[in-house]
Amino acid sequence: MSVTVAESSNGREVTINVRGRFDFSCHQDFMKAYKGYPKGKIRFVVDLRETEYMDSSAMGMLLQLREYSEQSNNVQLQNGNDSVNEILRIANFDKLFKIS
């Protein structure tokens, strides 16, 4: 598991990449990935391209990010594989986040 962060050139968007298992073992790294940015001022993209597995603690972390961003349209989930997208759909996260 690893969490990496990339900031856009204009500083308004942060992409958080989660590689491997997205579970409680990456909680601290995931929080550090966004807590250094001002609340409500940044758009976050969570890139799930390399995410192999996601559990309920990962969904909790995504909800914490959504709360931190202060606006639901400030968080986008993208590039999840079929099983990750199915987990998000079953949990109705498509109603809470923009998923692409």
Residue 66: its pLDDT value, please?
94
> Would you say 28 and 1 are in contact if contact means Cβ atoms under 8 Å apart?
no
In this predicted model, what pLDDT tens digit does every residue of 59-82 receive, in sequence order? 999 999 999 998 767 899 999 999
End-to-end CA distance of the chain: 22
Residue 72: its pLDDT value, please?
66
| Percent of the chain scoring above 90 in pLDDT | 83
Residue 1: its pLDDT value, please?
64
| Percent of the chain scoring above 70 in pLDDT | 98
State the fold for domain 2-99: Transcription Regulator spoIIAA (3.30.750)
Distance between CA atoms of 83 and 87, rounded to whole angstroms?
Answer: 6
Q: Is the pLDDT of residue 11 over 90?
A: no
- Residue 27 parent element (H or E): helix 27-35
